[in-house]
């Protein structure tokens, strides 16, 4: 990023739109070197020449005391202004000192502010904080997930049912020899000996699916992502 230095303001007798040869410090200010600019450093400069002005980035050289010009903004349709030979050149901040070009930031508004471009790549997504590489993923939209008020319907299988038992009832008969009573279930009968019968417990339930109530319609604030021009 181009560097900033305090109180650097100089005259120039350069004419045209090319590299500037710096003159002397404007009264009350310092030369670039006096402000601390080193040979080969890139600085953000501004030029004032009558009714024309320009801001850009340039490389300063101590040999010849020159400054190259890469225009960011100017009164000449954002191209280099045609210097008259009586301009002043100073070191100043530009919008790029606050955010590098391409920086992506969240804004709580519909349109991107001046100097920023709204990105439309991501829509209806949540934000995730990571400690590693920033990426994106997932398959369900934010409004779909957080618009649910019921769980998905599900029918239990036999394997998913809890272990349980059923109680049954039967009729007691005495044996012919008067020995201990025996129980006959399912409506069987007899007077002595062994009893054999088959039974079935009554069925209950519908076998249908079911859901559970929930409400995850979390409150939210919409934001946009915009990058610095």
3-state secondary structure labels for all residues of 44-91: EEEEEECCEEEEEEEEEECCCCEECCEEEEECCCCCCCCEECCEEEEE
Q: What is the pLDDT of residues 86-103, one digit of tens each?
A: 999 999 988 777 777 788
With H, G, I as helix, E, B as strand and everything else as coil, classify residue 173: strand
CA dihedral 175, 180, 184, 189 (to 10 degrees): 10
- Measured distance CA(217)–CA(62) in Å, rounded: 64
87 strand-pairing partners:
12
Domain boundaries, the chain: 9-97, 99-157+209-229
pLDDT digits (tens, 9 = 90+) for 157-179: 878 888 877 777 665 555 545 44
Q: What pLDDT sits at residue 81? A: 97
Which of the residue ranges 3-17, 72-86, 152-166, 187-201 would you say has the lowest mean pLDDT? Answer: 187-201
The answer for residues whose C-beta is within 8 angstroms of residue 80's C-beta and 6 or more apart is 17, 18, 54, 56, 69, 71, 74
Alpha-carbon distances of 140 from 123, 125, 126, 147, rounded to whole Å: 11, 9, 10, 11
> Which pTM was predicted?
0.48
- For 1-24, what is the mean pLDDT? 93
């Amino acid at each position: 990023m181009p560097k900033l230095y305090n109180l650097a303001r100089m005259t120039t007798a350069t004419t045209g739109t090319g590299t500037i040869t710096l003159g002397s410090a404007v009264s009350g200010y310092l030369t670039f070197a006096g402000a601390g600019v080193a040979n080969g450093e890139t600085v953000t400069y501004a030029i004032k020449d009558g009714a024309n002005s320009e801001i850009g980035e340039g490389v300063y050289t101590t040999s010849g005391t020159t400054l190259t010009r890469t225009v960011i903004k100017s009164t000449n349709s954002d191209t280099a202004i045609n210097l008259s030979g009586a301009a002043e050149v100073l070191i100043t901040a530009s919008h790029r000192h606050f955010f590098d070009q391409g920086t992506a930031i969240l804004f709580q508004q519909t349109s991107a502010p001046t100097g920023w471009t709204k990105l439309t790549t991501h829509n209806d997504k949540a934000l995730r904080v990571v400690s590693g590489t920033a990426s994106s993923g997932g398959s369900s939209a934010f409004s779909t997930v957080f618009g649910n008020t019921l769980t998905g319907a599900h029918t239990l299988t036999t394997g998913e049912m809890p272990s349980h038992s059923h109680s049954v009832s039967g009729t007691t008969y005495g044996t012919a020899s008067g020995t201990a009573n025996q129980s006959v279930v399912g409506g069987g009968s007899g007077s002595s000996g062994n009893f054999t019968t088959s039974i079935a417990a009554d069925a209950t339930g519908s076998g249908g699916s079911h859901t559970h109530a929930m409400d995850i319609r979390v409150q939210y604030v919409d934001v946009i992502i915009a990058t610095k021009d």
